[in-house]
Amino acid sequence: MEQLGELIKALRKANKMTQQALAQQYGMSRATISGIENNTIAEIGLRKVEAILNGFGYELTAAPRQARRPTLDTLQKVSFHD
Protein backbone atom coordinates (compact mmCIF):
# COMPACT_ATOMS: atom_id res chain seq x y z
CA MET A 1 0.00 0.00 0.00
CA GLU A 2 2.91 2.30 0.70
CA GLN A 3 4.05 2.15 -2.91
CA LEU A 4 0.53 2.89 -4.14
CA GLY A 5 0.38 5.96 -1.93
CA GLU A 6 3.72 7.18 -3.21
CA LEU A 7 2.60 6.61 -6.81
CA ILE A 8 -0.69 8.46 -6.30
CA LYS A 9 1.15 11.37 -4.69
CA ALA A 10 3.65 11.55 -7.56
CA LEU A 11 0.88 11.38 -10.17
CA ARG A 12 -1.14 14.06 -8.39
CA LYS A 13 1.85 16.39 -8.21
CA ALA A 14 2.83 15.70 -11.83
CA ASN A 15 -0.69 16.76 -12.81
CA LYS A 16 -0.41 19.87 -10.61
CA MET A 17 -3.38 18.85 -8.48
CA THR A 18 -3.93 19.55 -4.82
CA GLN A 19 -5.09 16.87 -2.43
CA GLN A 20 -8.36 18.80 -2.13
CA ALA A 21 -8.92 18.81 -5.90
CA LEU A 22 -8.22 15.08 -6.15
CA ALA A 23 -10.50 14.39 -3.20
CA GLN A 24 -13.35 16.37 -4.75
CA GLN A 25 -12.94 14.59 -8.07
CA TYR A 26 -13.49 11.21 -6.42
CA GLY A 27 -15.92 12.16 -3.66
CA MET A 28 -13.43 11.72 -0.84
CA SER A 29 -12.10 13.96 1.89
CA ARG A 30 -8.70 15.62 1.66
CA ALA A 31 -7.77 13.70 4.82
CA THR A 32 -8.47 10.42 3.01
CA ILE A 33 -6.19 11.39 0.12
CA SER A 34 -3.50 12.41 2.61
CA GLY A 35 -3.89 9.10 4.43
CA ILE A 36 -3.55 7.14 1.18
CA GLU A 37 -0.49 9.09 0.10
CA ASN A 38 1.23 8.81 3.47
CA ASN A 39 0.14 5.25 4.29
CA THR A 40 -1.52 6.39 7.51
CA ILE A 41 -5.10 5.43 6.74
CA ALA A 42 -6.28 2.33 8.59
CA GLU A 43 -8.38 0.93 5.74
CA ILE A 44 -9.21 2.12 2.27
CA GLY A 45 -11.39 0.41 -0.26
CA LEU A 46 -9.61 -0.96 -3.29
CA ARG A 47 -12.28 0.55 -5.51
CA LYS A 48 -11.30 4.03 -4.36
CA VAL A 49 -7.61 3.44 -5.04
CA GLU A 50 -8.45 1.80 -8.36
CA ALA A 51 -10.63 4.76 -9.39
CA ILE A 52 -7.82 7.23 -8.66
CA LEU A 53 -5.25 5.14 -10.54
CA ASN A 54 -7.61 4.68 -13.51
CA GLY A 55 -8.11 8.46 -13.61
CA PHE A 56 -4.36 8.87 -14.08
CA GLY A 57 -4.24 6.15 -16.75
CA TYR A 58 -2.95 3.35 -14.51
CA GLU A 59 -4.51 0.05 -13.53
CA LEU A 60 -4.37 -1.84 -10.28
CA THR A 61 -2.79 -5.27 -10.72
CA ALA A 62 -1.35 -7.94 -8.48
CA ALA A 63 2.07 -9.50 -8.84
CA PRO A 64 3.82 -12.19 -6.83
CA ARG A 65 6.17 -10.94 -4.16
CA GLN A 66 9.83 -11.31 -4.79
CA ALA A 67 11.54 -13.38 -2.15
CA ARG A 68 13.88 -11.33 0.00
CA ARG A 69 16.19 -14.29 0.48
CA PRO A 70 17.08 -16.72 -2.28
CA THR A 71 15.49 -20.12 -2.03
CA LEU A 72 17.56 -23.30 -1.79
CA ASP A 73 16.58 -24.13 -5.38
CA THR A 74 17.87 -20.76 -6.58
CA LEU A 75 21.15 -21.13 -4.72
CA GLN A 76 21.69 -24.63 -6.13
CA LYS A 77 21.31 -23.27 -9.69
CA VAL A 78 23.89 -20.50 -9.21
CA SER A 79 27.50 -21.33 -9.93
CA PHE A 80 29.78 -19.52 -7.50
CA HIS A 81 32.98 -20.87 -9.07
CA ASP A 82 32.85 -19.23 -12.53
Question: How do residues 34-47 score in pLDDT, each as one tens digit?
Answer: 999 999 988 888 89
CB atoms under 10 Å from CB of 67, counted, come to: 8
Q: What pLDDT, on the 0 to 100 scale, is given for residue 52?
A: 96
Angle (nearest 5°) at CA 13 between 48 and 43: 30
Distance CA 17, CA 13 (A): 6
Distance CA 41, CA 44 (A): 7
Q: What pLDDT, on the 0 to 100 scale, is given for residue 22?
A: 97
Q: What is the pTM of this model?
A: 0.72
